[in-house]
Amino acid sequence: MTNPELKVADAIREVTVAMQKAIADGYRSRMIDADDLVEVLLAIADRLDPPVAESVAPEFACPECGERHIDHLVWETDDLIRCSACGITFDPAAR
Ligand SMILES: [Zn+2]
């Protein structure tokens, strides 16, 4: 999915469906309070930006192409990382 607005809409839909099911199954009250609102907002945020990161922090991105996905940055030796996106090998400590 490339359109960020669609991604946000899908996250809201998924959380809404989960909430409706929880209400229908009797796990959740129809009354909403501040704690429920916080929980819903955090659930949407987690879907958009999962807590288990699949991207490295910007300072550890590939210096050549900026790749950040962990699947594309693989330790080649004890101190060198190879970027499978552009093919370079770099020392993440050398910056
Ligand atoms: Zn790269």
Encode pLDDT of 8-67 as tens digits: 899 999 999 998 998 999 888 888 889 888 988 999 988 887 666 688 888 889 999 999
Evaluate whether residue 53 is within a structural domain: no
Evaluate whether residue 14 is within a structural domain: yes
Return d(Cα 15, Cα 41) in angstroms, integer.
9
65 shares a domain with 44: no
Which residue range forms the structural domain that includes residue 74?
58-90
Q: 14: which residues sit within 8 A by CB, 6+ positions away?
A: 47
68 shares a domain with 42: no
- How many whole angstroms from 90 Cα to the centroid of ligand 1? 9
- How many whole angstroms from 75 Cα to the centroid of ligand 1? 13
- How many whole angstroms from 74 Cα to the centroid of ligand 1? 11
Place of tokens 């922090």: 57
Evaluate whether residue 78 is within a structural domain: yes
**Tally of domains in the chain:** 2
44 shares a domain with 10: yes
Evaluate whether residue 27 is within a structural domain: yes
What pTM does this model have?
0.47
